Chain A
């Protein structure tokens, strides 16, 4: 049996010691003795503190100590220990498209799992699965993997999973198997991380370097001398898995169908319809690429996540998910003449606009950020994460009932002694 609130039991022990001390240091009336001249004794307090050298009423003392200890144990939220290891793991396995090798990630997660541990698979959402189904779970999710993983729902699921495995354990180990790339955190992540009362262990796996495209972006345009063409030709190529199609017209049904596949990005970038004016556009997020040039503000229809803004804050680029891929609408009209698209800032802007869905998933977080996220110190105490509903509420009730019985016995014994 262990206690979720050992402080209450410690207070009970202190109370029991106090009972023993009071039993030994009793305030009692002095013995009655004949003294004919008693009338000359001044009137003072008739009680004197005396220390019993040899404690009496040991059974009474034992009952009182038992009552105090039982009450302390009842309020200490006792739980009967379940069999199993004292340290158990909650493993968060990233199954998003940001993971380059899901099999390797699964094997690492399996290595982190132990008896009594639990597994949480997460991408944009999170779900608790049985630890022995790690392979099937990861393979099943791999068919349609979102572009990025999100740590916030994973941490929430980890907290819930901890409540189920904490009973009977001393400590809980939080293991995160993920490439830990940018875009996995949001405003709630830090707060949710703080809820976990211990350090985390981050097992970093290879992520997809998606900023480098596997092939050149597919440009669908009717202009032979489209200003984007030379700019796209200058983009780097890599081993990334995501693919980009840029359409300079209204997208068709086939474009939409193509976009639904994992890792596909459809960029709708219409031709410019107006006269360019000097303006500035800035890509949101890390990097903060800003292009200042004669540009045309095109109309933006619909909603989504803002990826870039004009200098007055108006959205310039919107992204909306579509199944496993996403659609990005660009309202930046490019002048047909000039060398804007050949300049460095525009090249950076273009790279930022063509990152995989969900952000720059291929860019790993720095080691210092990951270390800060993991934290230092001991593992999380299981008692702090135990699920309230999983506790056996009958045990404190039984202890209190036993304390009442002992109290009654103490009263009977005291009454009998008084006679």
Chain B
């Protein structure tokens, strides 16, 4: 299955750009501002000529006026590899979480690919890790869609070890009900190493607002865990779940991770725009 079912979604996010949250390391030319300086027409600064520099980069006019050899430097742009780490544990099959996750990954992959960024995929599934190495070629979005459509969430698999295999931009889509603490630590390390870390917390509406009817709630990843969700425990559940989400968000943001809580009934197109929008600190002044 290709991107056919997602055509409308891809049309909706066409033209959306996903700039890097900070200067990327130098590399192949791309659309993201790099930490290196290049020879683009856009002037940035002068640097004294050193042996080995390309003489064509000398500012001849300045040399003629001042008899000093300087080289014109311009800001460099590079690509930013993006890896989506997707949680395919059993809890992600609840309500619309998996469908939302798939559509979100495909939409973001299309946005990244539109900037010529290589896009890769790591899916932590019960059968093992499904991988798509970061590539910028045409059809990578279709590959991502095909891999995701083949997977049915089940059981539980850790996500934190996959962060080390990620490209510079690491986007994790999970409900944080697995190895949330280890994952947050791994993303923090990734951020400290200069990478870009995104944590997209997928939540189902029925998890936020369970039906008032009494039920015996069962954890799909640990069927031994049964809790009665009745009138007397309803408010307590909502309160504890909200406190836990707030703690996750707070800890992630403190670690430099771009955290977003995504509810499964929200339109994916709007969610994509919210994710790629730079924060106030990142906006150019």
Residues of A within 8 A of B (CB): 29-48, 50
Cα–Cα distance between A47 and B226 once the two chains are bound (Å): 12
CB atoms of A30 and B236 under 8 A apart = no
Among the 9-residue stretches B61-69, B210-218, B274-282, the one with 4 or more Cβ atoms under 8 Å from chain A is B210-218
How many angstroms between the C-alpha atoms of A42 and B239 in the bound complex? 10
Tell me whether A42 and B226 are in contact (CB under 8 A).
no
- The residue among A32, A33, A38, A44 with the most chain B CB atoms within 10 A of its own CB is A38
Q: Are B237 and A30 in contact (CB under 8 A)?
A: no
Q: Quick one: closest A residue to B240, CB to CB? A: A40
B182: Cβ under 8 A from any A Cβ: no
30 examples of A-B residue contacts, CB within 8 angstroms: A30-B228, A33-B216, A34-B217, A34-B218, A35-B207, A35-B210, A35-B215, A35-B217, A35-B229, A36-B90, A36-B175, A36-B177, A36-B204, A36-B220, A37-B217, A37-B241, A38-B217, A38-B225, A38-B227, A38-B229, A39-B177, A40-B237, A40-B240, A41-B217, A41-B233, A43-B233, A44-B228, A44-B230, A46-B226, A48-B230
> Which chain A residue lies CB-closest to B215?
A33
B226 contact set on A, CB distance < 8 A: 32, 38, 46
Residue among B220, B228, B230, B236 with max Cβ neighbours from chain A (10 Å):
B228
Question: Given A35-B229, A37-B241 in contact, is the A42-B236 Cβ separation under 8 Å?
Answer: yes
The minimal Cβ–Cβ distance linking A179 to chain B, given in whole angstroms, is 80
**When the two chains form their complex, are residues B227 and A39 in contact, meaning their CB atoms are under 8 A apart?**
yes
B-chain residues with CB within 8 Å of residue A29 when the two chains form the complex: 216, 228
Give which listed residue, A32, A42, A45, contacts B215 with CB less than 8 A: A32
CB distance B228 to A48 under 8 Å? yes
Q: Mark B259-274, 1 if CB is under 8 A from A, else 0.
A: 0000000000000000
- Whether, in the assembled complex, B219 has its beta carbon less than 8 Å from a beta carbon of chain A, the answer is yes
CA distance A33 to B219 in the complex (A): 9
Interface flags, B188-229, vs A, CB<8A=1, else 0: 000000000000000010110010011111111100011111
Query: Which residues on the B side are within 8 Å of A46 (C-beta)?
Result: 216, 226, 228
On whether the beta carbons of A30 and B227 are closer than 8 Å, the reply is: no
Closest Cβ–Cβ distance, residue A110 to chain B (whole Å): 77
Is chain B's interface secondary structure helix, strand, loop, or mixed overall? mixed
17 more CB-based (< 8 A) A-B contacts, given A30-B229, A39-B177: A29-B216, A30-B228, A34-B94, A36-B91, A36-B204, A36-B207, A38-B218, A38-B219, A38-B227, A40-B240, A40-B244, A41-B217, A41-B237, A42-B227, A42-B233, A44-B228, A47-B228
B232 within 8 A of A: yes
CB distance from A387 to the nearest CB of B (A): 59
B-chain residues with CB within 8 Å of residue A38 when the two chains form the complex: 217-219, 225-227, 229
Closest 7 CB pairs of A and B: A41-B227, A36-B91, A35-B217, A38-B217, A30-B214, A42-B236, A33-B215
Give the chain A neighbours of B177 by CB distance below 8 A.
36-37, 39
Let me know if A44 and B233 touch, CB within 8 A: yes
Expressed in whole angstroms, the Cα–Cα distance for A199 and B109 within the complex equals 103
Interface of A is mostly: loop
The answer to whether B217 touches A33 (Cβ under 8 A) is yes
Q: Which residue of A lies closest to B219 (CB)?
A: A38
- With both beta carbons as reference points, the residue of chain B lying nearest to A38 in the complex is identified as B217
Docked pose: A39 CA to B218 CA in angstroms: 9
The answer to whether A42 touches B220, judged by C-beta atoms less than 8 angstroms apart, is no
Interface size band for B: 20 to 34
A4–B241 Cα distance when bound, in Å, is 65
Give the one of B216, B219, B237 with max A CB within 10 A: B216
Q: Are B232 and A44 in contact (CB under 8 A)?
A: yes
Question: In the assembled complex, how far is the CB of residue B264 from the closest CB belonging to chain A, in whole angstroms?
Answer: 12
Given contact pairs A36-B177, A44-B232, A30 touches B241 in the complex (Cβ within 8 A)? no
**Known A37-B177, A39-B225, A42-B237; contact A32-B216, beta-carbon cutoff 8 A:** yes
The complex places the Cα of A127 from the Cα of B57 at a distance, in Å, of 150
**Cβ-closest chain B residue relative to A41:** B227
Chain A residues in 8 Å Cβ range of B228: 29-30, 41, 44-48
Residue of B nearest to A47 (CB): B228
- Which residues from A are CB-within-8-Å of B232? 44-45
**Which residues of A lie under 8 Å from residue B219 when comparing CB positions?**
35-36, 38-39
Residues of chain A lying within 8 A (CB to CB) of residue B206: 35
In the complex, what residues of A have CB within 8 A of residue B216's CB? 29-33, 46
Chain B residues, CB < 8 A from A47: 228
Residues in B neighbouring A33, C-beta threshold 8 A: 215-218
The residue on A at minimum CB distance from B206 is A35
Minimal beta-carbon separation of A380 from chain B (angstroms): 58
In the complex, what distance in Å separates the CA atom of A48 from the CA atom of B228?
9
Q: Answer whether A40 and B215 are a contact pair too, CB < 8 Å, given A32-B226, A35-B207, A45-B228.
A: no
Q: Which chain B residues lie closer than 8 Å to A48 at the CB level? A: 214, 228, 230
Q: Min CB distance, B159 to chain A, in Å?
A: 15
For the complex, what is the distance from the CA of A44 to the CA of B235, rounded to whole Å? 12
**Chain A proximity mask over B52-88: 1 for CB below 8 Å, otherwise 0:** 0000000000000000000000000000000000000
What is the CB-to-nearest-CB distance from A363 to chain B, in angstroms, rounded to a whole number? Answer: 83
Q: Which residue of A lies closest to B232 (CB)?
A: A44
Considering the chains assembled together, what is the distance between the CA atoms of A72 and B8 in angstroms? 74
Complex Cα spacing A227 to B178, Å: 132
Distance between A52 CB and nearest chain B CB, rounded to angstroms: 14
Q: Considering the chains assembled together, what is the distance between the CA atoms of A103 and B215 in angstroms? A: 88
Instruction: Report the Cα distance A39→B177, complex, angstroms.
Output: 10
* Given contacts A38-B225, A48-B230, A30 and B215 within 8 Å (CB-CB): yes
Set of chain A residues within 8 Å of B221, measured between Cβ atoms? 36
- Chain B residues, Cβ within 8 Å of A39: 177, 219, 225, 227
Find chain A residues with CB under 8 A from B213 CB. Answer: 30
The residue in chain B whose Cβ has the minimal distance to the Cβ of A29 is B216
Question: Which residue on B lies nearest to A50, using beta carbons?
Answer: B214
- List residues of chain B with CB within 8 A of the CB of A34: 94, 217-218, 220
Q: How far is the CA of A30 from the CA of B204 in the complex (A)?
A: 22
A235 to B78, CA, bound (A): 156
**With A and B bound together, what is the CA distance between A18 and B278 in angstroms?**
68
